[in-house]
């Protein structure tokens, strides 16, 4: 995470100084690599290392806070850009990385006990079930399919609602409400996190997603169907964000979690990169029902995999 933060400083500085497409693309490549090194997976691995048995609660608390980050920093970035320009805004963010993020990472975080290097992927599972029945690949399938939906919808949601017949202002209003619902779902999971595991969270989310899509298809853009869709999809996608991080905790102990999460990050990043253009192409060349139909297919497939995983829980979950 420290290396990623240093890369983010370079990325923001490069973006601020960019005066052509080549430098602009290079800046965003650097920022993309910095994000992969500092967000989600590395943060969850770090929390697992320092929190041990309390890792699930710590991850839930982190996701509850970060769920509000866009609501806070998008307006801040917009105000800064209007006041001093986007180039100076990038330099301000670079300075914040140096003055705030780096000291917190270097001096502010507790250090967990070091664990020995983990074996190859075939031996990732800390539980015998995970080693014997290929549960890792089922986890990849369930998380990847649901991530394909949520990452794709985050990019096209406003256009999808407009295609359903909403006026632009109405689509933005409904889309803005989604973030509040997602944070609410994360809050519910955090409050009750000790009563269920990541698979139970994923099952709830896996049921909510296809129902949300079906409601929007049946309602054909009526206000009631859009409101129901935002509620169900928001609860489901918010819970899925937690499930993506906590499902591996069901099968892997403190030492194995880091390697499992790292291997999960690759298909997750592939889904994050491929789903927005895929859904956008469907919406452009066909219609919103084609997008919703593909989402139902993916979410139902993920739900079947989650039911299989629920039957393969180890009797005593890893510490």
Which tens digits make up the pLDDT trace of 2-16? 898 999 999 999 999
Is residue 297 scored above 90 in pLDDT? yes
Cβ-in-10-Å burial (0-12, 13-18, 19+) of 37 comes to middle
275-291 pLDDT per residue, tens:
888 888 888 888 888 99
Instruction: Indicate whether 315 pLDDT > 70.
Output: no
Report which of residues 249 and 89 the model is more confident about: 89
Distance CA 27, CA 12 (A): 7
Q: How far apart are CA 209 and CA 234, in angstroms?
A: 9
pLDDT in tens, 24-79: 989 988 988 888 788 777 777 777 777 666 666 677 677 767 766 766 776 788 78
Confidence class for position 117, pLDDT limits 50, 70, 90: very low
Residue 128 pLDDT more than 50?
A: no
Mean pLDDT along residues 294-309: 92
- Specify the pLDDT at position 175: 79
Contact between 37 and 7 under an 8 Å Cβ cutoff? The reply is yes
The first and second tokens of residue 180, run together, are 């509040």
* pTM flag (> 0.85): no
- Name, of 67-81, 215-229, 252-266, the range with top average pLDDT: 215-229
Domain boundaries, the chain: 2-108, 122-311
SS (H, E, C) the chain: CHHHHHHHHHHHHHHHHCCCHHHHHHHHHHHHHHHHHHCCHHHHHHHHHHHHHHHHHHHHHHHHHHCCHHHHHHHHHHHHHHHHCHHHHHHHHHHHHHHHHHHHHHHHCCCCCCCCCCCCHHHCCCCHHHHHCCHHHHHHHHHHHHHHHHHHHHHHHHHHHHHCCCCHHHHHHHHHHHHHHHHHHHHHHHHCCCCCCHHHHHHHHHHHHHHHHHHHHHHCCCHHHHHHHHHHHHHHHHHHHHHHHHHHHHHCCHHHHHHHHHHHHHHHHHHHHHHHHHHHHHHHHCCHHHHHHHHHHHHHHHHHHHHHHHHCCCCCCCC
CATH number of 122-311: 1.20.1250.20
């Amino acid at each position: 995470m420290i290396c990623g933060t240093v890369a983010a400083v370079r990325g923001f500085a490069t973006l601020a100084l960019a005066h052509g497409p080549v430098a602009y693309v290079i800046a965003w490549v650097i920022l993309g690599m910095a994000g992969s090194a500092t967000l989600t997976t590395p943060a969850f691995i770090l929390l697992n290392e320092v929190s041990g048995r309390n890792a699930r609660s710590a991850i839930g608390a982190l996701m509850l806070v970060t769920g509000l980050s866009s609501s806070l920093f998008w307006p801040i970035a917009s105000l800064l850009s209007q006041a001093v320009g986007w180039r100076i805004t990038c330099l301000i963010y670079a300075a914040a990385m140096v003055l705030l993020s780096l000291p917190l990472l270097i001096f502010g975080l507790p250090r967990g006990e070091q664990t020995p290097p983990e074996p190859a992927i075939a031996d990732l599972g800390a539980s015998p079930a995970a080693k014997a029945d290929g549960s890792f690949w089922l986890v990849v399938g369930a998380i990847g399919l649901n991530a394909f939906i949520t990452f794709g919808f985050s990019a096209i949601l406003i256009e999808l609602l407009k295609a359903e017949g909403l006026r632009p202002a109405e689509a933005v209003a409904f889309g803005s409400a989604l973030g509040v619902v997602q944070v609410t779902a994360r809050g519910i999971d955090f409050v009750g996190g000790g009563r269920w595991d990541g698979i139970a969270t994923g099952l709830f989310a896996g049921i909510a997603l296809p129902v949300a899509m079906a409601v929007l298809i049946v309602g054909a853009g009526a206000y009631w169907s859009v409101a129901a869709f935002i509620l169900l999809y928001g609860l489901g996608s918010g819970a899925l964000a937690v499930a993506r991080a906590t499902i591996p905790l069901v099968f892997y102990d403190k030492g194995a979690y880091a390697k499992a999460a790292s291997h999960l990050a690759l298909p997750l990043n592939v889904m994050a990169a491929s789903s927005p253009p895929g859904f956008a192409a469907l919406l452009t060349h066909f219609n919103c029902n084609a997008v919703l139909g593909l989402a139902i297919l993916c979410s139902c497939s993920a739900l079947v995999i989650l039911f299989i995983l629920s039957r393969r829980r180890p009797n005593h979950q890893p510490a």
